[in-house]
Structure 1
Amino acid sequence: MNLKDIPRVKTIGKEEFLKNYFRPQKPVVIENFIEDWPAYNKWNLDYIRNVAGNITVPLYDDRHVDHKDGFNQPHAKMKMADYIDLLKTEPTKYRIFLWNILKEIPQLQEDFSYPDFGLRLMKGLPMLFFGGTDSYTFMHYDIDLANIFHFQFDGKKECILFSQSENRYLYKVPHALITHESIDFSNPDFEKWPALKKVNGYKTHLEHGQVLYIPEGYWHHMKYMSPGFAMSLRAIARNPINLGKALYNVFVMRHFDSLMRSLKGQRWIDWKNEQAISRTHKAIFN
């Protein structure tokens, strides 16, 4: 893989962001942007344990997709206090993703503000993501192809990004938003996945208080280097093509995939994984 470091700036204004990163759809890390948020000094694992410890949260791990799994169906549930204790005492694959803080803990809304990046942020969807050391997300892109602002709190995270222009090299699973689940993008086996030698992307590490802008539809792989959590704010895709793809994903692709799982079971999942390999190799080697 040919990975460039994601550009970094200390801070940035709206016009500079729109000109240099949003319009050309390039990622950027903003290092000093949220020091005036109460969350900058307050938000850590102990604080979340204190304000949300009694809430039961859905947990996900890195097991491969099974035809019996529903869309975003959790693999386990646990009280937040017990989960954070687990994060701090031992490595665990369990993660929390897409946890809506407005719905669960409204008081956390008082700890941050919605920045003016020149985009209309979806204010009803501030989502938190938690993970333990060495836990990770499969390489994927979001169903709505949104512009994402990922604010890191407590802990360190490795982030690898690819644009949609790299799809032909990524072993993309058909009728899905993921690449082949057996690929370790932090340490890929190029003998097994030779197309990855040709892919171009970006890499960075995030620490507390830093913000990563992920452009519309970018593939992203997140690996937790230490226990921690982050918040994502998102803005709807502005490119008409991406907006069209998002509508297709939500209203057609997702339901078609669910139908095929119910009709064919695990054979459908296995076929998709086989196609991810055969289609990629056919495209680049034939």
Structure 2
Amino acid sequence: MPGGKELSGPAQGSGAQSPTPLVPAPSASTLWADLQALLPRTREGLQLDFGEAVESSVVLLLQQTADLLYGEGGSLNSCLRLSEIVLDYSWEKLNIGKWRDVDKEWRRVYAYGCLFKALCLCHDGGAVAEAVRTCDLGLLMGASILDNVLARVIGVLQPHLPRPKRPMAGDVKEPLPKKIRPGSEDVPAIKAPERIVRLRCPSLEYFRDNFLLPQKPVILEGVVDHWPCMKKWSVEYIRRVAGSRTVPVEVGSRYTDEEWSQTLMSVDDFISQYIENENHTGYLAQHQLFDQIPELKQDIGIPDYCCLGKGEEDDITVNAWFGPAGTISPLHQDPQQNFLVQVLGRKYLHLYSPAQSEKLYPHEGHLLHNTSQVDVEEPDLASFPQFETAEAQTCILSPGQVLFIPVQYWHYVRALDTSFSVSFWWS
């Protein structure tokens, strides 16, 4: 195997022996040059070494694909075919058994397969949208490689994407019917004894002594007003910045419904199918969104009060929650402290302290042990009689407000409008 070959480009071999040469057309040469700048200068710099879990035949396929990319007369068809073989095989490895048991080496293999396929797809300037989708799958399912090269490849490709087109009627797959609670458009009344305390920019010491240490919920105002997202974000802005990106979407009004499922789709399709269609519901809820789409990440910050925790900033989990009115998070509890920041729309919340757990009837079994069986707004008191005496705190969270939800506090959430929230889990 020849060593030290440099990545092929417009000025190198003609590839005349192949009907689809691995040399960019003149119109694509600028894009290819920008992609070349992200990659190691020689094939050896790709670091195609893997642990014992990965068969040598798979490593050989990756090496052959790399040789085609870095060679002087390679076939684009052959390169694409080899990368897809690697992806098909590694995909099976990722989907056998439980995700936590997947060897990270197979996630690296999948990421390299995505990288090589994306390079083949956009090598001649075409199929850029499919190349971006391929990189997104690598970011979602693979492991970070070459200093997060997949995210950087997307950054180069995005200016070459066509503007997202809104699908015509009948072009999108029909989702499951939305279950909207009757009267969900009405703003619920909040009884005075149940109201959560609201404070404007309390000091770190005051928050620590009066809410963090005693574990009491509070709504903070004025602490995120300076975040760019508070002025910039709208449904159209999110579509413009991230419309072409592929993300996981939860289909259904709540995760405890029998018909609830998960799927992958573009942000543009999600907005068209679920945000703009008032008869359907789906939720974009994931912790990787801001790492996947840095244009959104740069518009948010970390609440200053997180510095009172025991961990480092890198230990904070940042989650995105984007969905239509009527979407519900059933009554549940989380294993960490939570700052829920409301950016777009309003949410209606019920909170219960861990001391109320016996009255909230958690599901039996490990899978949903942190979720209540009770429908908070329409409880079946014949089946769950103690719930009637459970003491709740309620609020309507509006844009710019931050709700502190102490660890293990039960909370129920219903979106009153099209809503985008950002939550920060910290210890």
Asked if structure 2 preserves the Cα contact closer than 8 Å seen for 1:30 and 1:211, the reply is: yes
Aligned to 1:262: none
Summarize deviations over 1:228-286 as a string: whole Å, max 9, x none: 110011212xxxxxxxxxxxxxxxxxxxxxxxxxxxxxxxxxxxxxxxxxxxxxxxxxx
Offset at residue 199 of structure 1 (A): 0.7
Aligned to 2:370: 177
- Using the alignment, how far apart are the partners of 1:190 and 1:224 within structure 2? 24
- Using the alignment, how far apart are the partners of 1:106 and 1:167 within structure 2? 39
Asked if structure 2 preserves the Cα contact closer than 8 Å seen for 1:139 and 1:220, the reply is: yes
SS of equivalent residue, structure 2 residue 332: coil
The correspondence of residues 212-223 of structure 1 with structure 2, limited to 5 A, is 212-223=403-414
Offset at residue 134 of structure 1 (A): 1.0
- Using the alignment, how far apart are the partners of 2:371 and 2:209 within structure 1? 30
Aligned to 2:317: 125
- Describe the shift of the 1:17–1:127 C-alpha distance in structure 2 as closer, same or farther (beyond 3 A): same
SS of equivalent residue, structure 1 residue 102: helix
Asked if structure 1 preserves the Cα contact closer than 8 Å seen for 2:291 and 2:297, the reply is: no
Offset at residue 121 of structure 1 (A): 6.0
Output the amino acid matched with 2:413.
Answer: M
List gaps (5 residues or longer) in structure 1. Answer: 237-286
Aligned to 1:75: 262
Aligned to 1:208: 399
SS of equivalent residue, structure 1 residue 126: strand
- Describe the shift of the 1:75–1:133 C-alpha distance in structure 2 as closer, same or farther (beyond 3 A): same
Asked if structure 2 preserves the Cα contact closer than 8 Å seen for 1:158 and 1:223, the reply is: yes
Of residues 99, 103, 106, the one that matches 2:294 is: 106
CA RMSD, aligned part only?
2.2
- Describe the shift of the 1:7–1:82 C-alpha distance in structure 2 as closer, same or farther (beyond 3 A): same
Offset at residue 77 of structure 1 (A): 2.9
The correspondence of residues 39-188 of structure 1 with structure 2, limited to 5 A, is 39-60=229-250, 61=252, 62=254, 64=256, 74-85=261-272, 86-117=274-305, 118-119=308-309, 120=311, 122-123=313-314, 125-142=317-334, 145-174=335-364, 175=366, 176-180=369-373, 183-188=374-379
Offset at residue 109 of structure 1 (A): 2.4
2:421 pairs with 1:230:
yes
SS of equivalent residue, structure 1 residue 233: strand
- Describe the shift of the 1:227–1:65 C-alpha distance in structure 2 as closer, same or farther (beyond 3 A): closer
Asked if structure 1 preserves the Cα contact closer than 8 Å seen for 2:361 and 2:372, the reply is: yes
Asked if structure 1 preserves the Cα contact closer than 8 Å seen for 2:362 and 2:371, the reply is: yes
Offset at residue 186 of structure 1 (A): 2.2
Summarize deviations over 1:97-148 as a string: whole Å, max 9, x none: 2242332112322212223212246446221011211110111112xx1111
- Using the alignment, how far apart are the partners of 2:396 and 2:242 within structure 1? 27
Offset at residue 91 of structure 1 (A): 4.2
- Describe the shift of the 1:19–1:107 C-alpha distance in structure 2 as closer, same or farther (beyond 3 A): same
Aligned to 2:380: 189
Asked if structure 2 preserves the Cα contact closer than 8 Å seen for 1:121 and 1:234, the reply is: no
SS of equivalent residue, structure 1 residue 153: strand
Aligned to 1:257: none
SS of equivalent residue, structure 1 residue 208: coil
**Same amino acid, percent of matched pairs:** 28
Asked if structure 2 preserves the Cα contact closer than 8 Å seen for 1:8 and 1:30, the reply is: yes
Asked if structure 1 preserves the Cα contact closer than 8 Å seen for 2:248 and 2:286, the reply is: no
- Using the alignment, how far apart are the partners of 1:162 and 1:14 within structure 2? 24
TM-score, normalised on structure 1?
Answer: 0.72
Output the amino acid matched with 1:87.
Answer: I
Aligned to 1:33: 223
Output the amino acid matched with 1:38.
Answer: P
Output the amino acid matched with 2:377.
Answer: S
- Using the alignment, how far apart are the partners of 2:403 and 2:280 within structure 1? 24
SS of equivalent residue, structure 1 residue 139: strand
- Using the alignment, how far apart are the partners of 2:289 and 2:397 within structure 1? 21
Output the amino acid matched with 2:278.
Answer: E
Asked if structure 1 preserves the Cα contact closer than 8 Å seen for 2:322 and 2:420, the reply is: yes
Aligned to 2:21: none
**Count of matched residue pairs:** 226
Larger radius of gyration: 2
Summarize deviations over 1:71-90 as a string: whole Å, max 9, x none: xx953332111212331331
Asked if structure 2 preserves the Cα contact closer than 8 Å seen for 1:94 and 1:132, the reply is: yes
Offset at residue 53 of structure 1 (A): 0.8
